Structure formats: C-alpha cells, structure tokens
Amino acid sequence: MNLRTARHGWSQARRAPGRPRFASTFVLLLLACAGYSATLDISIRHTFNGEPVELGSMRHQNSAGETFSITRASYLLSGLALERGDGSWLEFTNLVAWMDAEAGRTVWPVPEVPSEPYRSLRFHVGPDNDANHGDPAKLPADHPLNPNLNGLHWNWQGGYIFLALEGRWAAADRKLDGFSFHLARDTNRVRIDLAGALDLQRDTRLELDFDLAPLLNAPRPISFAKDGSSTHSRDGDPLAASLAANLPGAFRVRRVMADETTPASIARVKP
C-alpha cells in the first residue's frame, strides 16, 4: 500500500472530541473477534538533534565539540512485538528489516496485524542468535538478511553487523579523517522499548525518529579523538559498549498516522 500524506487520507490518530470511550473499545473488540487485521508501516526518520540528517554534510557536532559528517547509517531490526492493553505481547518472530539511510530503506511493513488496541512496542537492533549464526547462502536474494543486499555480513569472522555508522570528522588540526562504527556480536544486540498508543482499526503508519545525536552523546559521550574512530565490536571493546548503552535512547515515537480511507480487512488473520 502506498503511504499518503495527511491531506491525501492520512490523519494523526487521536480520539475525536466527545466520542464515548466505551464505544471505541466496543468497536475494537468487535474487530478483533471478527478476525480483522490492518497493516502497520513503521517509518523511521534519521535525525540529529531532531533535524533530518543530511548525508555527507559536515554540519554535526558531538558533545566533545568535534565536527563530523554521516555518510552511512545502515542497520538490522528484528524481534518486533506489540503490547496489548492487558499487558500480553503479540510477537512477530520471523520479521526482520534492513534499514539504510542512503538507500532510502526507511519503512518496515508489518502486514496482517490483528485490529486490537496496543499501548507500546519493542524491537531489537540486530538479528537473534539463530539468524546471526545461520547460513546466509540459503536466503532469497531479496531477504533483508541477504549479505548481497544489505552489505552487513562479516565473511571473515561470521555473523552480521547490527549497526554500521560511518562518516568523516575534523581533527584539531582541521585534517579530515574517517570513522567507522560497526556494532555486532550477540552480546551487543539491543532492545528498544517505546510507549505509544496504536489504534489499529485502519491501516496505520507509525513514525519513529532515530536520532544519532543521543547515539553518540548520551549517556556515554563518544569522542573520536579520545575514544577512537573505529570499532568492530571485539570482546571488551569500550566503544562498542558505549554505542550499545546509548542506542535505547536514540529512538522515539514521532507520531501515529491512520489511513482514514482504508478500513481494516478481514479473512486473512490466522486463528
């Protein structure tokens, strides 16, 4: 389904003024019981301090005062789950996404989501242990984990790069140098938890921001000069540990948009 802007059918999801809450709940229960489903598109915007990232531009500055550019932000997502109103979780165990700022891969489509109310979501940066150590040669050409597609697999040591962040930075003498942060290994798979109400009576787009400023600055500030400009996530690498510690705070919910022209569909939800 093609995503539309608000003026072409998308509107910010919210309860209409004066609409009885019990009526909304009743409708949701009817949709769930009848086997209705909706498509959830998770759209990720790459930002720095809330502003869209301009790849290749030396416009960014970290907490150490170092100026740098971002040329690559590529990563793998898995382990998506939605929390129902009763606290139970709907898990999508085999759903994986490859996201890439340069390639324009910014939408993670989640088809056939039961039309229930959800109050939060979680996912992981990086594949699970089985997928990380599986045989990528068995994957279809268009699979998100196919190394020929994503360029995020280490043939020399096996396993995937969970997150690749690369660019250039200006040293004190104004000389430009490159940086390459590759977060990998099972111990560095990071869970992201986000609160946000989802009312899936219709196909919905959930817009997230992946802000690279917190990734590099908080709670563990990273300096290219002091901490290093490269990591391949070796055991005990403090730079990789800082990236993993900062990742949970780098994602946030921007808004939820419901397609007012497309109601939930029926008949394809498995019992």
Span 2-29, pLDDT tens digits: 333 333 334 344 444 444 444 444 444 4
Which two structure tokens, joined as six digits, stand for 63?
A: 């907490």
Asked if pLDDT for residue 45 goes beyond 50, the answer is yes
Q: What angle do CA 221, 226, 229 make, to 5 degrees?
A: 85
Cβ-Cβ contacts under 8 Å for 239 (sequence gap 6 or more) = 181, 222, 227, 228, 231
Of all residues in the chain, what percent carry a pLDDT higher than 90?
77
Question: How far apart are the two ends of the chain, measured CA to CA in Å?
Answer: 24
Q: Is the peptide bond before 238 cis (omega within 30 degrees of 0)?
A: no
pTM of the prediction?
0.84
The amino acid at residue 203 is D
Where is pLDDT greater, at 250 or 199? 250
The amino acid at residue 140 is P
> Where do we find the tokens 């196919």?
146
Q: How many helices (H) and strands (E) does the chain have?
A: 6, 15
Strand partners, 195: 120
Question: pLDDT tens for residues 121-178?
Answer: 999 999 999 999 999 999 999 999 999 999 999 876 779 999 999 999 998 777 899 9
Which two structure tokens, joined as six digits, stand for 71?
A: 């040329």
227 pLDDT band, cuts 50/70/90, is very high
